[in-house]
């Protein structure tokens, strides 16, 4: 049994892909890394990752 959630809209695509990995019996670390990487690599978000503003 597995579950995965996201509380921000920007996580939606990563959550979908992570859920696919888990559904296909993939490793939890691969699912987690995929979720985070998809948000971090997207330049349209200014709060985190590649497009993030420096603090």
Query: Is 0.75 surpassed by the pTM of this model?
Result: yes
Contact by Cβ (8 Å): 21, 30: yes
Range of the domain at 35: 10-41
The three-class DSSP label of residue 28 is helix
- What's the total number of domains in the chain? 1
**Structural domain contains residue 5:** no
**Structural domain contains residue 28:** yes
**Structural domain contains residue 25:** yes
> For 2-18, what is each residue's pLDDT tens digit?
889 999 989 999 999 99
Give the Cα separation of 5 and 53 in Å (integer): 25
> For 18-45, what is each residue's pLDDT tens digit?
999 999 999 999 999 999 999 889 888 8
Give the Cα separation of 24 and 31 in Å (integer): 11
DSSP 8: S
Give the Cα separation of 31 and 11 in Å (integer): 13
């Amino acid at each position: 049994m597995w579950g995965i959630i996201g509380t921000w809209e920007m996580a939606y695509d990563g959550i979908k892909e992570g859920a696919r990995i888990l559904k296909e019996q993939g490793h939890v670390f691969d699912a987690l890394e995929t979720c985070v990487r998809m948000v971090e690599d997207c330049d349209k978000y200014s709060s985190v990752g590649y497009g993030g503003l420096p603090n």
